[in-house]
Structures are given as structure tokens and as C-alpha cells.
Amino acid sequence: MSGPAGILPGEGRGARGRPPAAAPGTGPLAFPAGFLWGAGTSAHQVEGGNRANDWWSFERQRGRIYGDDMSGDACRHWERFDDDFALAAADRHNAHRLSIEWSRIEPEKGRIDGAAIAHYHDVFASLKRHRLLPIVTLHHFTNPQWIAAEGGWENRATIERFLGFVRLCAREFGAEVDWWITVNEPEVLAFRGWSEGIWPPAKRDDSLALEVIAHLLEAHGRAYRVLHEEDRADADGDGRAVVAGFAKHYVRLEPEHGWSPLDVARTYFEHRVFNAAVLGAPRTGRIDLSIPGARAARRDVAELKDAQDFVGINYYTRWKVRALGAEPHVAARGARLNDLGWERWPAGIEHALGDAAAAGKPVLITENGSADAEDAMRREDLVATLALVHRAIVEGVEVRGYLHWSLMDNFEWADGYRGRFGLYAVDFSDPQRTRTARPSARLFAGIAAANAVDPSAR
């Protein structure tokens, strides 16, 4: 068959088959030498106390955030970063993903905050002391308020403004950073903010959502060139000054009813724009985003072609897609769910890695984890996922590392503080934000130390 009725996500695009997972008791599965093990954070979610970005304002609108939570002091990572990196190092992590907050560096248009720059130099010095490779995100969902006031990512001028920030970071921090993530999940930011209307700027316009994705993809391609032009220092001594990519949220989409032409068609169009088009753009240089009922966003961007040194993949779950009804994305019937109602489905990592590998570049798992305050499911899902990652490597996918989301519980955007993803629990009722290692932190520490996962471990 051909067309929407005959194509499901991942079929015909280099997706991997799904042979049975490794059986318990087969012994540890060793990962390649030099594999990166670590966890991730983003500035607004953990630092606390930043009043200069668009999320700080958004959180003050009642009803926007679950329970009317506000980021507030968050995890106080702004002050406690060295202690947090010490925890990661003691757990044998060798890498850490973090972001530089644009609104701290440039809180007002054209004004660069020297104290904020000095702070991030201290952060990178701490990472170096703890022998953690920094993997730095330059845009993780937040914008300076002055950028938001000028139209945010609807405004093409934001691309040039962002490139100025990227250039500053490359020059200022290039001697400390080699691994760069330009933008995090452009498709998620666009759909959450401009289609679903549950993130700032809280609009519901699919045409604008597609335009925002296009602007973010163009910004990635051009930022990739800026990083390679401006960062000439090899911080880690591996012979490369820059290893750059972006982080793609890969969600497995399947029709709720395989017999329904409407469900199948909606699944096809959503996968085409959300997964396939976004993954393909940095390979081809062609932005081609379209969904029924919206104005398409199409352009060729010379700087975007072959604009990635690795493919960053964030993977969490799959959704069943329905064409009719108030909720278009639902968990599979009878599925095991995490605390946010997402299906626990480690098998989807194979589909994500298979589609990512089509770019012909190494893959870095930049996020994976589960909202699990009781730590009742995280260990099982972690082991199952890593066993499948190992199988993908054996079958030829060049996976360079695995970064767990997240190092500690944090502010989870519109879900406030109810989504507890951390290897370390954070007591948000305690002014000091005490961290406590969960059993999954100990399990992950053993995996990182051994550079291997035992499929029977829990």
C-alpha cells in the first residue's frame, strides 16, 4: 500500500526491526570505550531566581501551571552547582548536559551582564574539576523578556538576535566547551506555545507553530556555522574544537485504531511534520512543514544543509493518535503509565535511534527518563532502555552516549513540580532544597562505573 493509509511512523525510513530483547541472566552488556554517561538539567528548571525571561512572567498568570506552581528558587542550582556536580562525579558520570540562560547573559537588549558570564565560567571550571564533559544547550525553551516583547520566535529578527548570543558564547566559553546543542526540541516549543497554547505565548494557531519551527531550524543551521567559525579552542583535547547538533524530541506516534483511515491519516501527517521533517532538515537543508488546515512553512536554507555533527535524541514515550475527540493523543489501552500519565514504553528507543541513524551521523541520547516520584518504575525502564540501546549499537548505530533526564527533580514547565524525573529527589519544602539519592541513582552509578548494563538488574 502507499500513501497515508499504508505508512506508519518509522516504516520505510530505516527503522529497526524489533527482535526480542536480551533475556535476563545473559550477563552484563558492555558499551564502547569512551561512552558518555551523565544526566541533564536546564537553567530555568534548576537555577532559580531569574526574573528576566518569558517563563517567569508566564508562571504568574493563574491557571497556567499545574497547582499554580512557580519556578521561584527552583533547586537553587545557581548557588549549589558545585555540590550538584560533585554528586554526579561521585556517581561516576563523565558528562553533564546543562544550558546557558540567554536572559541572564543579556537581560536587556544589547546589555551584557558581566557577572552572569563570570558565573558560567565558574560553572565550567567546576565541571572540569569534577571531570565532567560539558554538553551545553544554548536555547532550552526560554527567551529574554525583551525578545518575547518583540514577537519571540514568530519574528524573523529573533534569529539574528539569537546568533549574536551564540557568537558571544562561542567566543567567551569556547575554550571550556566543545559539545554544543543549539536548540532544544524546536517542534515541542512551537506546538506547546503556538498550537496547544499551554506554554508562552499561549497562542492557538497551527500556521504560526509551523513558522516558529522553521525559524528555529534555520537558527540551528546558522548557529551551527557560527559555532564552527568562532569556537577554535579544543577544550577536551580530542582534536575537535566543536561538536554541534540540536536535540530532537522523538515521540512514537501510532493510530489508535489501525482500521480507521482518519486515525491513520492523522498519524501520518503528524509524524511527517513532527519527526521526519525536523530530523531531515539539518541533513538536506530543506524546511518542509505542512499539516492540513495550516499555512505551510517551506524554505531552503544553505547553512542548514549537513548542519550537525551528531543527532541529539530525546525519547520518553509513544502516543496513540485519534482523529476524533477532544484529546488527539492518548496512552495505549492498559498501558503502564508514569506519574504524568505517559506510557512507559522503552521499546520506542529503537525506533528513535533507527530514524536518527538515517542522517549518517553519530547519535547522542540527550534525554530519557520517567516521572516517578516513588522510584518504583525508573530502574526497570532504565535497564530495559539501555539493553535496547546496546542492541542498536551492536546492530550498527553509532551511539555516543546516554544522558538521563534529569540529575535532580526540577520545575517541569506547565506541569510545575509534580513531574519528578530526578535521579536525586529534591525537597522543595526545604529552603536549602535538600537532595537525596534515589535507588535509581545508585543503579545508574553502577552502570556508569562498569560501562555496562546487566539486563537482569533492577
Nearest residue to 108 (alpha-carbon basis) of 137, 139, 144: 144
- Gyration radius (Cα) of the chain, Å: 21
Contact between residue 271 and residue 9 where contact means Cβ atoms under 8 Å apart: yes
- Give me the pLDDT at residue 23, please: 44
Nearest residue to 252 (alpha-carbon basis) of 325, 173, 324, 332: 332
How many other C-beta atoms can be found within 10 angstroms of the C-beta atom of residue 242? Answer: 22
List the Cα angle 252/453/92 in 5-degree steps. Answer: 105
Distance CA 369, CA 249 (A): 13
Which domains does the chain show, CATH number per domain? 4-10+36-449 (3.20.20.80)
pLDDT mean for each 10 residues of the chain (458 residues): 33 37 66 98 98 97 97 98 98 98 98 98 98 98 98 98 98 98 98 97 98 98 98 96 98 96 96 97 98 96 98 98 93 96 97 96 98 98 98 98 98 98 98 98 98 93
**Predicted TM-score of the model (pTM):** 0.94
User: Reduced to 3 states, what is the DSSP secondary structure of residue 172?
Assistant: helix
Q: Bin 3: left if φ > 0, else alpha if -120 < ψ < 50, else beta.
A: left
Residues 6 or more apart whose Cβ sits within 8 Å of residue 397? 16, 353, 354, 356, 357, 363
- Give me the pLDDT at residue 103, please: 98
Angle subtended by helix axes 378-394 and 348-357, to nearest 10: 40
- Give me the pLDDT at residue 7, please: 28
> What cell numbers appear for 113 in the block?
551582564
Contact between residue 425 and residue 438 where contact means Cβ atoms under 8 Å apart: yes
> What cell numbers appear for 410 in the block?
526540577
- Give me the pLDDT at residue 26, please: 67
List the Cα angle 76/436/379 in 5-degree steps. Answer: 120
Q: C-alpha 15: how far from its chain's center?
A: 21
Hey, what amino acid is at 250? Y
CA atoms within 13 A on the CB side of 357: 20
- Give me the pLDDT at residue 425, please: 98
- Give me the pLDDT at residue 20, please: 38
Angle subtended by helix axes 206-230 and 157-173, to nearest 10: 30
- Using CA atoms, how far residue 335 sits from 40, 291, 341, 360, in Å, is 27, 29, 10, 33
- Give me the pLDDT at residue 326, please: 86
- Give me the pLDDT at residue 93, please: 98
Contact between residue 356 and residue 399 where contact means Cβ atoms under 8 Å apart: no
- Give me the pLDDT at residue 4, please: 29
> What cell numbers appear for 370 in the block?
520517567
Please provide the DSSP assignment of 101-147 as one string: -HHHH-SBTTB--HHHHHHHHHHHHHHHHTT-EEEEES-SS--BHHH
Distance CA 444, CA 392 (A): 20
